[in-house]
Amino acid sequence: MHLLIFFICIVTISQATNDNQQVTLWNLFKSVHNKHYTNVREEQYRLRVFKRNVAMIDQHNLEADMGLHSYRLKTNQFADMTHEEFVQTMLTGLKISSSTNLLKKLSERQFHSSSNVEIPAAVDWRKKGAVTTVIENQGQCGSCWAFTATGALEGQHFLKTGHLVRLSAQNLMDCSGKFGNQGCNGGLMDASFQYIKANKGIDTEASYPYEAQDGKCRFNPKTIGATDTGFVDLPPGNETALQIGIANIGPISVAIDASQSSFQFYSSGVYDDPACSTTSIDHSFILVGYDTFKNATVKKEYYIAKNSWGDSWGDKGYIWMSRNKHNQCGIANIGSYPLV
């Protein structure tokens, strides 16, 4: 009887300690991510969601420690959101419709590569100065397409001029509606490149800063940061062409299925989720390089992707996406880049 009471006390103390740790973590989470809630009832609900997410993250990382996963998860700014809320809030930014076929017809040059082209084992355009630092955070606005388009053009502009200029995603959101883009309700990179060509330029981020909401077009031809003359689409689903493009052209805009909870909380390592769809595409970002992770037992090929959810998400704003894994997450479906 005394032994039973002892064990009950131990379990009770352990649970109390765990609860105290979770409350401490919750308070840190609110402070770091500047979270505020309308009332006590809302905060209690968000705390329950937070606890469930933390438990899932801890379980995944325990399995990763046992060698069952090639990537780890972490508590980030989305930890107080259910997965359904995350999908509805963060994955509404890509509009792929019949207009996509029209844009492909507008592409002024088809992607071609020589059969004997040399493909380096690894490429990282960040090291060559062609990628701006991660300060972009689209917030609760479906503007991934705009950041993906500006990121790809920033790279091409740098490679042509030697100057790295941060370009205005807000300019695209406010002004490219005639080309099929819908601001916070979504858009497409190719439509953005077409707008920039017709508009004879896009403003700098410094002159036209991001607001995370739709606004009136305020394009100023005096503060243009870059121009393009069209765009090129890569062959759909062809990862060899995608690798050649990254190696020989520069950063490439792509889109993926980001709807898995594993993507929501990604932290580090090579993202490899078999549940990822190759056809249901809902999020875009730019690929700035590729490489291979190796240790004594594992070899994983990956792309280096720059996201637009701030530097507190992922690996300082980046994710390593599986490469040559049967087009996992549909990463090679709609690759493109602007012509400058």
The catalytic residue positions are 144, 283, 307
Count Cα neighbours of 207 within 13 Å in the Cβ-side half-sphere. 16
Q: What are phi and psi of 225, to 5 degrees?
A: -105, -25
Q: Does residue 93 contact residue 149 with C-beta atoms inside 8 Å?
A: no
Cα distance from N-terminal residue to C-terminal residue, the chain: 81
- Residue 237 DSSP SS3: coil
Q: State the maximum Cα–Cα separation within the chain, in Å, rounded to a whole number.
A: 84
Task: State the CB neighbour count (10 A cutoff) for residue 6.
Answer: 10
Phi, psi (5° rounding) for residue 203? -75, 165
**Which helix H or strand E contains 24, and what residues bound it?**
helix 2-32
Of 300, 177, 276, 162, the C-alpha closest to 226 is 162
Handedness of CA 313, 164, 189, 275 (dihedral sign): negative
Q: Six-digit token pair at 168?
A: 């205005």
Place of tokens 């352990």: 14
C-alpha dihedral (111, 114, 120, 126), degrees to nearest 10:
-30
Q: Which residue has the tokens 């880049």?
A: 337
